[in-house]
Structure 1
C-alpha cells in the first residue's frame, strides 16, 4: 500500500501521541449490533460573547454560576460520533482539522489510537458546515482525510454554504467560516450525496431537520428496534444555558429564535421518550439524557 503524506505526518508524531496517551474514546453505546463511540477531536476556546451575545448579563451569570462555569473563555469538548455497524464505519462530522484552533483537530490521532485508519471510514455524515464539523475533511496538504468515504449532507445546508453570496451576506464575524466551508465543499462537490429530512440515509439511521444553529442543520437518529439515540450536532450546544433556559436566543446560533424553537422541541421529545442523546459539545463525551428540571431541563451524562 502506498504511504500517503498524511500517514507520513502521523508517523512523525506517533511517539508524541503515545506518550500523551489521551483517552480518545470518551463514551460508548451498544445498540443491538451497532457500536457507537464518541471520540475526541479536542476542545474549542470560545469568547463568551460569541456564545451569549444578546442575553441579559445578570440572568446569564445566575445560570453560569449555578453550573460552576468560570469567567473567561469557554472550552467545550469536541465529540465526534463513530458508528460501526457490519461493514460500515461512519463518522458524524469530521472535526476541525488543522489550522482552525490549536486545541482541536485531534480526530486523526484519536482514530489511529483506536485502530481505525482513515481509509477504513466508509461514510462521513455532516450535521452542518461550521469549521469544527467540516474543516477536518482535508489534511495539512489539502488532501481528503477520508479518501474512501461517501459524504452525506442535507441539501439545504449544502446550498446555503456553497452559494458564493453567503460570504458577503453572513456578516463579517462569520465570513471566514463561509469562505473556508466553500473551499472544502468544492473538493467534495462530485462525491457528496444530498439528503432530506426523514430520509433513512443508512440502515437504521434517519435524518432529522433541526434548523436554527445553521439554516440546514440536521440531527441523526440511530435506531435498533425500540431503542434509539439522537446525534444532536449543535442543535443543543451546551449543558448549561441551552438546557436550563432553552427558549433563550443564543448568539452562537445563526437564527437564534429558530434555534430556540428547535431546542424546545428536541428537549421535550428527548425527555418524554427518555431517548439517549449525543451532543457535539456536551461534557463527558457528550452521551447522556435530557431530564425535566423546573421550567427547563438538565443534562445527565452517561450511557
Structure 2
C-alpha cells in the first residue's frame, strides 16, 4: 500500500474531501522468486498482481483491482460514535484518521462469452485508483472480446472505463446493461439527493458524472428489473438504498454483492450504519440485511466491489451483525 504520512493524509482530506490510495496485493512467491518458470506458472493459473481468477461451476471469474480509496473517519458510518470508529480502527490495524476501501470489478468468462460487471474508476480522478484497464489487460483480456457490461449502479468508481475522454466506447462490442430504476433516477433533470449527507461538491460530481455516462451511452443500452437476467445465467437481485437502482448479481454458486456493503469492517459488524453517499439510508439497511441473511444462510461464495482484494469470501451471521470469512487463496 502506498504510504502517506498523517499530515499528508489530513492535507488530502482538506483539499479533496476523498483520499485515494493504492492497495494492490503482490503474491509473495512472485515478489521474491527469481525463477522464471515459477513466475509463468502464476499467470497460467490465473493469478497475478492486480487480478485473481476463481473457477465457479462453468464460469471463470476474475476479480480485477482498480486500486483503493481513502475516506475520512465516519464517511461510511455516519451513525457511529467517534469512540466506536477508533475502537474498530485499532482492532483492525488501520489509521484512525482515515478509512480505506478497495475498488474491484469482475470479468466472467463462460460459454456465453465475456461479461464485465462494473468498470472501475477513470484515470485521473484520484491518483491511486484508475488501474482497472491496466490490470484487465494484464490478466490476458482485450477490450474487443467483452460481449456485455453489467453496471450495478451509476457511481464513478463503477463506470469509469466505459468511455474515453472523447466519449468513445472503450469496449466497442459490448452491450451495456443496467437497472431501469437506476437509469430513470439519474436521467431525471434533478436527481433527489436530499438524504445524501456528503458535501454539495460531492453530490454535484455524482450527478454530473452519471449524466455524462448516460449521454455517452446514447440509446445503446438495455435496462432490466429485479429478478431478470442481466446476462445468461446471471440474475439481478435488487438492493436499493445506496442508489435507487443498485443491485447484486446472483449466479449458480456465487453472488456478487456490489455495494451491498461498502466497508467490510464497518458494515458487516454494524449493518445498521450507512454511508454519507447513500441515497436512502433506511433502504440500504433493509437491502443489506435481506441479502446478507440470504448468502450467510446458504453459505454461498460471494465477492464485493469494495471487499479486500482478491475479494472472494463467505458471510457468516454473528449476533445482529455478520463476519467476513475469507477463503484460502491459491497464488
TM range (shorter): 0.7 to 0.9
Work out whether residues 135 and 181 of structure 1, in 8 Å CA contact, stay in contact via their aligned partners in 2. Answer: no
Is 1:110 the counterpart of 2:135? The answer is yes
Aligned to 1:189: 218
Q: Deviations over 1:127-164 (max 9, x none)?
A: 10111002321124432111110000000001111112
* Matched residue, 1:164: 189
Distance 1:93 1:263 in 2: 19
Equivalent pair of 2:269/2:323 in contact (CA under 8 Å): yes
From 47, 58, 61, the equivalent of 1:36 is 61
1:48 paired to 2:77: no
User: Deviations along 1:173-212, whole A, 9 cap, x unmatched?
Assistant: 3111111110111111311100010002222100110011
Contact 2:76 2:266 in 1 (8 A): no
Alpha-carbon spacing, 1:100–1:167, altered in 2? closer, same or farther (3 Å): farther
Whether 1:214 aligns to 2:240 is no
Choose which of 231, 234, 238 in structure 2 pairs with 1:205. Answer: 234
Match of 1:180 among 206, 209, 215: 209
Matched, 1:241 2:293: no
State the 1:91 CA deviation.
Answer: 0.8
Normalised to the residue count of structure 2, the TM-score between the two structures is 0.79
Q: Which residue of 1 aligns with 2:300?
A: 275
Residue 152 (structure 2) pairs with residue 123 (structure 1) = no
List aligned pairs for 1:37-76, cutoff 5 A. 37-76=62-101
CA distance in 1, matches of 2:220, 2:90: 46
For structure 1, list consecutive stretches of 5 or more residues without a partner in the other structure.
1-19
CA contact (8 A) 2:66 2:132 kept: yes
Partner of 2:51: 25
Shift of 1:55: 2.0
CA distance in 2 between partners of 1:144 and 1:212 (Å): 29
The range that moved more, 37-46 or 150-159, is 37-46
Query: Where does the alignment leave 5 or more consecutive residues of structure 2 unmatched?
Result: 1-30, 32-38, 40-47
Which of 278, 286, 293 is the equivalent residue of 1:253? 278
Per-residue CA deviations over 1:204-232 (Å, capped at 9, x if unaligned) read 10011001111110110021xxxx21111
In structure 1, the partner of 2:323 is 298
Aligned-partner SS, 2:226:
coil
What SS does structure 2 have at the residue aligned with 1:74? strand
**TM-fit CA distance, 1:284:** 3.0
TM-score by length of 1: 0.86
Give per-residue Cα distances to partners, 1:237-294, cap 9 Å, x unaligned.
1111111011223334221121011111111111111011110011132110001224
Q: Distance in 2 between matches of 1:160 and 1:78?
A: 24
Q: Distance in 2 between matches of 1:102 and 1:143?
A: 23
Rounded Cα–Cα distance in structure 2 between residues aligned with 1:252 and 1:46: 12
Secondary structure, in 3 states, of the residue corresponding to 1:139?
Answer: coil
Aligned to 1:5: none
- Distance in 1, Cα, partners of 2:83 & 2:318: 21
Q: CA RMSD in A?
A: 2.1
